[in-house]
Amino acid sequence: MTSGQTEFQFNANQKAMTRSKISPWMLVGYLCLILAALMILFPLALMISSSLKDEMAIFEYPVKLIPAHPSLNNYRQLKENFPLYILNSLKVTGIIVLIQIISATTGGYAFAKLKWRGRDFVFLLYIGSLMIPIHVYIIPQFILVRRLGLYDSHWALVCVSSFTALGTFLMKQFFMTIPDSLVEAAKIDGASHAQIFTSIILPLSKPVIATQIILSFRWFWNDFFAPLIYLTSEHLKTLPLGLADFASQYYTYYGPQMAASVLAIIPVMIVFLLGQKYIVQGVVTSGIK
């Protein structure tokens, strides 16, 4: 048998083995995943398509994902304050996410690696705050913000949202997977807790930090309730409040609203794509451990 025949036979055997590994149940699973992906992507595709149509074409039936006469007119109709809304959202969300990461990582380190009296009880109370609905404490929180003179300012949003019990819980659970032997070895070498935290803990925690950044950014970028309560000035409005302006008492401007929504999801997609590799890395590493 020649070398060419041998290589052909080897490739044929490989293909046969590959076919034998793909069972009917795997094909059904792949088909279900494809259908689920299409169901998730359809609203996004419909939103992008509607942003390129006029008001009448949006409600045509049957629905056409590819506009017959695409136009950027809806994007041109966006309010002149729309870029300001985006900048306000970027400013507020960026500050909140930064402070949350600092508070969550330091708090998670204190609960996971430091031994102090009442640690578990305090952590239980901290996590218990997640069970309290926002409607229970929104009135005293509003009164406190007014008395501090922060009402109708971005600092009101920052102050009421900068600490996260869920983020601290995620950090604490991840830090507990880091061997204590690393911390003890650093202490023997004379490292302080600040050095251990910045040089050992944080570099190993990129996956969970990226996950928290994505979750916090998505939440506060889309938050409508808190800005509605604490902001009244037009120049301070965030993007969700700006999107609400397209719906009036008598009419909703669906075309410009769809165009604004398309622009609104771009920063979230950028943040997710930048942190995606760290999330995947965290899942793989956790599986190996």
Residue keyed to tokens 């699973």: 29
Specify the pLDDT at position 284.
52
Residues 173-202, buried b or exposed e (16+ Cβ, 10 A)?
Answer: ebbeebeeeebeebeeeebeeeebbeebbe
Both 169 and 64 in one domain: the answer is no
**Domain boundary pick from 71, 87, 121:** 71
Specify the pLDDT at position 99.
93
Both 98 and 12 in one domain: the answer is no
Both 238 and 277 in one domain: the answer is yes
Six token digits for residue 2: 């020649």
Specify the pLDDT at position 288.
41
Both 60 and 195 in one domain: the answer is no
Identity of the amino acid at 86: I
Both 111 and 253 in one domain: the answer is yes
Cβ neighbourhood burial of 270 (10 Å; 0-12, 13-18, 19+):
exposed
pTM: 0.78
Specify the pLDDT at position 286.
45
The total of structural domains in the chain comes to 2
Beta pairing partners, 252: 247
Both 83 and 59 in one domain: the answer is no
- In the 3-class helix/strand/coil scheme, how is the chain assigned residue by residue? CCHHHHHHHHHHHHHHHHHHHCCHHHHHHHHHHHHHHHHHHHHHHHHHHHHCCCHHHHCCCCCCCCCCCCCCHHHHCCCCCHHHHHHHHHHHHHHHHHHHHHHHHHHHHHHHHCCCCCHHHHHHHHHHHHHCCHHHHHHHHHHHHHHCCCCCCHHHHHHHHCCCHHHHHHHHHHHCCCCHHHHHHHHHCCCCHHHHHHHHHHHHCHHHHHHHHHHHHHHHHCCCHHHHHHCCCHHHCCHHHHHHCCECCCCECHHHHHHHHHHHHHHHHHHHHHHHHHHHHHHHHHHHC
Specify the pLDDT at position 21.
63
Both 99 and 179 in one domain: the answer is yes
Q: How far is CA 126 from CA 54, 71, 190, in A?
A: 50, 51, 32
Specify the pLDDT at position 281.
65
Both 173 and 148 in one domain: the answer is yes
Regions of the chain short of the pLDDT cut 70: 1-22, 247-251, 280-289
Domain that holds residue 205: 76-288
Both 107 and 178 in one domain: the answer is yes
**Domain boundary pick from 39, 71, 103:** 71
Both 28 and 118 in one domain: the answer is no
Residue keyed to tokens 């109709």: 77
Q: How far is CA 241 from CA 125, 155, 223, in A?
A: 33, 17, 9
User: For the segment 133-161, what is each residue's pLDDT rounded down to a tens digit?
Assistant: 888 888 999 999 999 888 989 999 998 88
Both 237 and 273 in one domain: the answer is yes
Cβ neighbourhood burial of 11 (10 Å; 0-12, 13-18, 19+):
exposed
Both 26 and 103 in one domain: the answer is no
Region for residue 106 given its phi and psi (left: phi exceeds 0; alpha: psi -120 to 50; beta: otherwise)? alpha
- The whole-angstrom separation of Cα 58 and Cα 246 is 16
Q: Assign residue 148 the CATH number of its domain.
A: 1.10.3720.10
**Domain boundary pick from 71, 92, 122:** 71
Specify the pLDDT at position 289.
45
